[in-house]
Amino acid sequence: MTMKRMKASLVIAVMVLSELGVTAKAQRTSAETADSGKTYELLPGLDKRLIDTTADPCVDFFQYACGNFTKLYPIPNDRSSFGTGAMIVEHTQQVLHTMLEKAAVGSVGRNSNEHSNEQKIGDAYAACMDVDAISQKGLKPLQPELDRIAALKSKDELPELLAHHQLIGVNTFLGFGQQQDFKDARKQIAVVDQGGLGMPERDYYFRTGEAPEKTRTQYVQHIANMLKLISEPEAKAGADAQAIMKLETALAKVSMDITSRRNPNKVYHLMPVSELATLDPGIAWGRFLAASGAPPVTELNVTNPEFFQGLNGLLAATDMETIKTYLRWQLIASIPGYVLPKAFDDEDFDFYGRKLRGQPEQKTRWKRCVQATDAGLGEALSQVYVAQEFPPASKKATLQMVKDIEAAMDQDIDTLDWMSSATKVRAKEKLHAVADKIGYPDHWRDYSSLTIARDDAFGNGLRATEFENRRQLAKIGKPVDRGEWLITPATVDAYYNPSMNDINFPAGILQAPLYDSHASDASNYGHIGGVVGHELTHGFDDQGRQFDANGNLEDWWTPEDGKKFDQKADCEVKEYGNFVAVDDVKLNGKLTLGENTADNGGLRLAYIALLADAKRKNIDLTKKQDGYTPIQQFFLGHGQSWCGATRPEQLRLQVQTDPHSPRQFRANGVVQNMPEFGHAFGCKTGQPMMPVNACRVW
Ligand SMILES: [Zn+2]
């Protein structure tokens, strides 16, 4: 019930799970499939059924820890990948589904003046589920937006339309929103970013080879098919699709690649609005800003000045008809398929789901409607979810774990032989300033001004997106709310935000097997301890280390220590850059560096915390319990966090767009760098999981 692109904010927060952290493209309706009805229980912290005892843990630990997972749980047809995290997601969706069905029944016939959260989530869910009403309306809800584009007479009228598109989540030409000022984290400022592409990332327009070329051909066909669905004649749709591809390719050419965008200095150019107007005089920025919904703006971050110079030339060189065709395409591409007639939904899924991700079938409607309600009314839904599903004991146990891991990092910094004491003082200053956020926010978001109608799925989506975008923009010039969360409490993920210098663990991720109150401490340290350590280490990876204790982009390292860090990190760039994900596609060692550093540092911190915990409790970590020593259970916990499989199309997409390494490399890459693993499993130096040259940053 939101547009596909919703949040008008630029945050470089780093998540732990790629399969869950990325907002899915809209997906189509389908009949109930066998997979949609399956119920998923939560797995235990250590699940021996998953272990392939015929594999040698010293040769391929992932195979050993997870070898039986896909035999027991093959990838369902409505997914492009499946694993430990996805299983928690499926389980959580079923819980939310039951809650929403109840809320939807409860909201029938209620006085419409009662705008309670429960009524809103019930109505939003019911409207999304009402396939008959959606297909009866057909394209009518879209018509005012199409008319608005048709009415454009000249390029001079573009600023107001572009501003309107930003508010309703349409990705035409650029992105506009707010962010915390990288160099003064107390301030919230406006930001204008590159945008306007329909494929996942700029390099999709330029890569050579059979697979990338095929994807481009399929993309052009997809654009033509979508245009035909808004009544363009076949020949015109084909020619228009080519013109759109040409325009997007030119936009891509002046866009920055995804790896460069990880560097905060490369996407930070604070300037007065007048300077942006000089870079890109083709857009009347004063009028754009006045129509944008933002408070008065005098300066803003222009992430990529070269993009706006390029956009200026491009708009000048493109005729009005082509621009209007492109605007129509971006409009229909931004609307989630489930609020449109089935033919749109099917076509959208065919390209973004089946072809790009290799997903055989669309998810059943209730799953998409649960996701949509979470995306649009997340904190209203989560308020009910948390009360029902998140016991105070889980919050308490997680807080203890977080404190243990932070103490481990404090201790770890003391032992680093490569870091000077001056940098150590600053590192500890930053560590001690990290804010821990667990479970759910202290203050819930107020949705009282958002109108949700039980018979208007399309309008609900548009209004929820505009509500969220206006909420983001209203922050400009105001003090930062440090209690705010970027993801909803029911989300199975976690993140570190360098501008806030906080680590965030929503209720959704604090479930078995990641946190299992019945499992051994060792297994929990390997699972959720590794996740906590991962987020904390993000504050000190190649990106996070550039921000200080207050969340400001400021170099607090001595030049020698900075150089040593880069050398150590380079070992991981090479290690992961040599892993082959699919066919001849290798991992991008630089794109995944931050995540890999966080995985490696995170598990080491969890290990240090485990040793301290065992000492406190007088536990012998080398004595077998239940078939495995606690140290082996710790590593199995880590390994089993990543069980599962990914379809080849999705793997290709992941390697080319996602900073997270695929699952097997997350499991094995880390243990290869921990000789403690080799000792625990009796490996010999030189075996694959115990190489002679291990990498270590933290
Ligand atoms: Zn991460």
SS (H, E, C) 224-282: HHHHHHCCCCHHHHHHHHHHHHHHHHHHHHCCCCCCHHHCHHHHCCEEEHHHHHHHCCC
Phi, psi of 497 (to 5 degrees): -115, 110
Q: Give 610's contacts (C-beta < 8 A, 6+ positions apart).
A: 521, 522, 525, 526, 529, 621, 630, 631, 634
How far, in Å, CA of 627 to CA of 60, rounded? 20
Q: What is the pLDDT of residues 561-581, one digit of tens each?
A: 999 999 999 999 999 999 999
Active site residue 541: no
Q: What is the percent of the chain with per-residue pLDDT over 90, rounded to a whole number?
A: 92
CA of 428 to the centre of ligand 1 (A): 21
Report the pLDDT value the prediction gives residue 40, as an integer from 0 to 100.
87
What is the bridge-based pairing of β-strands 435-439 and 502-506?
Answer: parallel
Average pLDDT over residues 651-667: 97
CA of 535 to the centre of ligand 1 (A): 6
**pLDDT reading at 198 higher than 60:** yes
Give φ, ψ of 483 to 5 degrees: -90, -5
What is the gyration radius of the CA atoms in the chain, in angstroms? Answer: 25
pLDDT at 110: 67
**9, pLDDT greater than 90:** no
Centroid of ligand 1 to alpha carbon of 180 (angstroms): 20
Distance 528 CA to ligand 1 centre (A): 13
pLDDT(430) > 60: yes
Which of 374, 493, 521, 535 is catalytic? The answer is: 535
The Cβ of residue 93 has, within 10 Å, a number of other Cβ atoms equal to 20
Q: How far apart are CA 364 and CA 33, in angstroms?
A: 7
Write the DSSP assignment of 177-225 as a string of letters. EEEEETTEEEEEEEEEEE---SSSSGGGGT--SHHHHHHHHHHHHHHHH
Percent of the chain with pLDDT over 70: 94
145 among known catalytic residues: no
pLDDT digits (tens, 9 = 90+) for 121-166: 999 999 999 999 999 999 999 999 999 999 999 999 999 999 999 9
Going by their DSSP bridges, the two strands 495-497 and 502-506 should be labelled as antiparallel
pLDDT, tens only, 527-552: 999 999 999 999 999 999 999 999 99
Report whether pLDDT(23) > 60. no
Mean pLDDT across the chain: 94
**Residue whose C-alpha is closest to residue 80's, from 331, 305, 355:** 355
- Tell me what pLDDT residue 38 has: 74
Residue 219 has pLDDT above 90, yes or no: yes
| 355 secondary structure, DSSP code | I
Q: What is the whole-number distance in angstroms between the Cα of residue 598 and the centre of ligand 1?
A: 6
**Distance from residue 538's CA to the centre of ligand 1 (Å):** 7
- The beta strand positions in 8-94, using DSSP E, are 14-15, 81-83
- Closest by Cα among 698, 526, 695, 685 to 58: 685
C-alpha to C-alpha distance for 662 and 651, rounded to whole angstroms: 7
In this structure, what are the phi and psi dihedrals at residue 521, rounded to the nearest 5 degrees? -55, -40
* Res. 39 pLDDT band, cuts 50 70 90: confident
Q: Residue 251 phi/psi, 5° resolution?
A: -65, -45
- The tens digit of pLDDT for each residue in 456-476 reads 999 999 999 999 999 999 999
Of 599, 613, 649, 658, which residue is the catalytic one? Answer: 599
* Least confident residue range of 108-122, 238-252, 346-360, 678-692: 108-122
What is the Cα 457 distance to its own chain's centre?
25
- Confidence band for 13, pLDDT divided at 50, 70 and 90: low
Tell me the two tokens of residue 442: 């202290």
Give the alpha-carbon dihedral of 106, 112, 113, 119, to 10 degrees.
30
Over 50: is that where the pLDDT of 28 sits? no
> What contacts 26, CB < 8 A, 6 or more positions away?
4, 335, 336, 337, 338, 345, 348, 349, 352
Coil, helix or strand at residue 508: helix
Amino acid at 594: G
* Mean predicted confidence (pLDDT) in 621-650: 97
Q: Which one is predicted more confidently, 337 or 36?
A: 337
pTM over cut 0.85: yes
Q: How far apart are CA 662 and CA 576, in angstroms?
A: 10
Per-residue pLDDT, 82: 97
- Name every residue whose Cβ is closer than 8 Å to that of residue 288 and which is 6 or more positions away in sequence: 159, 160, 162, 163, 176
Average pLDDT over residues 593-607: 98
What is the reported pLDDT for 406? 98
CB 404 within 8 A of CB 613: yes
Q: Which two tokens stand for residue 599?
A: 């995985």
User: Looking at residues 316-322, what average pLDDT do you find?
Assistant: 97
Q: How far is the CA of 541 from the centre of ligand 1 (A)?
A: 10
Confidence of residue 8 (pLDDT cuts 50, 70, 90): low
Tokens of 207: 């890569």
Is residue 142 within 8 A of residue 231, CB to CB? The reply is: no
pLDDT, tens digit, 9 for 90 and up, residues 58-78: 999 999 999 999 999 999 999
